[in-house]
Amino acid sequence: MIASVTVPLDGDFDVAAAVFASRRAEERYFVWEQPDRDGFALGGIGSAWTVEGAPSGDRFRAAAAQCIDVTHAAVAGNDHALPASGPVWVGGFAFAPDGGAAPEWDSLPATLMTLPEVSMVRHGDRAEATANVVCTPGSDRDDLVPHAIARLESMRADPLPMLDPDPVSGYEIESVLPPERYEEAVARAAARIRAGGLEKVVLAREVQVTAPVPFHAGSVFAGLRAGYPSCFCFCVGTPTAAFIGASPELLVRREGARLSTVALAGSTRRSADPAVDDHLGERLLHSTKDLAEHRIVVETIERALEPLSVWVAAAEEPVLVRVANIQHLGTPVRAQLAEPRSAIELAGALHPTSAVGGEPWPGAEPTMRELEELDRGWYAGPVGWMDATEDGEFCVALRCALLEGRTAHCYAGVGVVADSDPEAELAETEVKLSALLPVLTGS
């Protein structure tokens, strides 16, 4: 059983700074922040309970059931009115059930949801912290509470460190596979789509950045949240690695019986010139290729939600979703759930959307595995949180990197359709990678 105690914090408490400053070297940790959404931030340190592995069958439903069983048996002290306050599960899932087999993903299993020893949440001008401790048979809750309070009082929120603007030596940036190999993969995928049976396949590539000194996850996170305040800025950390990113794509948000998500597909670059930027956006809104790719994503989301919902409503036309370096076509989708389903289960029902997988999935999956030639690990998988009410939110892990010592494994992908141009698709991956590379290299 779990015993939890929740206490108030100052409303301006920097959750991310506290996580990076207070975590111990042997602990897992988690940060989730969307600054533009009323400063929402969630952080977790340590592991009071962990649900991990890749069980056979529905890994999302199995993980949800285990999390719910533990939370329902928890003894909670103090009321917690904020979303994600009290006992909260944090973590994520690899893109594929068997994902993360490559050595760099050793510390992040295909399923990993953690109930932190300490969690902190801020929303607007309110903040709270929760300590969770495991109650063993015969243990006295009154004896456990002082331990929990002591851990809460040990938290410190040192300012996040800045990136070194003048490293001793330069950074090396290298595509794991030659760029021309990626163009060949795009051409082969487009040919298969034209031959029939497939509408779309998403192909990813990996670029590695080697630094002169080990990467500091806190510095990288600070750069991401400053540069991408409208995105889901996340860091899933282990004693040996950190999976970090700033994703523009909401996979699912559950608030009681209400569900919301966003279909995000079709992209173009930004420009510092407002007139050029507007022109690029207008061209994207009228691009036959991008609109067709986007429509596929909207339709697959609607089909996934219809069996679970009383109604599903998607906006009639996409809008432009702009972040610092790129703009996308986005269509908000809402639904009213027909029966209670947890945030983790809903993430499993939607993953993978065709924005990161393909359509139809049974044909796209083997094509993707063959042509990508990489282990995606957690790239494009669901990352997020679920609280004791089973509400929560998960993003699609995009614009991300796995930090491992002096190496950063960076990932980006594009949706390939019948008329995709290999050179243009390679260029789109470069635009997406440019969200992270300057933050990693301090350039």
The string of DSSP codes covering 376-401 is -TTTTSEEEEEETTS-EEEEE--SEE
Predicted local distance difference test score (pLDDT) of residue 2: 78
Interval 185-211 mean pLDDT: 94
Predicted local distance difference test score (pLDDT) of residue 51: 95
pLDDT at 384 over 60: yes
pLDDT at 142 over 70: no
pTM of full prediction above 0.85:
yes
Could you read off the pLDDT of 259-311 as tens digits, one per residue? Answer: 999 999 888 888 888 899 899 999 999 998 889 888 988 999 999 999 999 99
The pair of three-digit structure tokens given for residue 204, joined into one six-digit string: 């990813």
CB crowding 247-280: b at 16 or more within 10 Å, else e: bbbbbbbbeeeebebbbbbbbbbbeeeeeebeeb
Mean pLDDT is lowest, of 166-175, 268-277, 355-364, for: 166-175
| Average pLDDT of every residue of the chain | 89
Predicted local distance difference test score (pLDDT) of residue 84: 85
Predicted local distance difference test score (pLDDT) of residue 157: 74
Which DSSP symbol is given to 105? G
Predicted local distance difference test score (pLDDT) of residue 259: 96
Task: Report how far residue 204's alpha carbon sits from residue 373's, in angstroms, rounded to the nearest whole number.
Answer: 9
Q: Which residue has the higher pLDDT, 292 or 30?
A: 30
**Superfamily the domain 172-216+253-375+399-441 falls into:** Anthranilate synthase (3.60.120.10)
CB atoms closer than 10 angstroms to residue 194: 11
Q: What's the pLDDT band for 204 if we cut at 50, 70, 90?
A: very high
Interval 156-165 mean pLDDT: 73
Burial (Cβ within 10 Å: 0-12, 13-18, ≥19) of residue 113: buried
Q: CATH 3.60.120.10 region(s) of the chain?
A: 172-216+253-375+399-441
CB atoms closer than 10 angstroms to residue 21: 16
pLDDT at 166 over 70: no
Burial (Cβ within 10 Å: 0-12, 13-18, ≥19) of residue 155: buried
| Among 113-122, 263-272, 432-441, the range of highest mean pLDDT | 113-122
Interval 141-156 mean pLDDT: 69
Task: Report how far residue 154's alpha carbon sits from residue 13's, in angstroms, rounded to the nearest whole number.
Answer: 14
Interval 1-12 mean pLDDT: 82
Task: Report how far residue 271's alpha carbon sits from residue 169's, in angstroms, rounded to the nearest whole number.
Answer: 30
Show Cβ contacts of residue 81 under 8 Å, excluding neighbours closer than 6 positions. Answer: none
Question: Positive or negative, the Cα torsion across 218, 223, 229, 235?
Answer: negative
| Among 156-170, 233-247, 257-271, the range of highest mean pLDDT | 233-247
Active-site residue list: 200, 249
Task: Report how far residue 398's alpha carbon sits from residue 353's, in angstroms, rounded to the nearest whole number.
Answer: 13
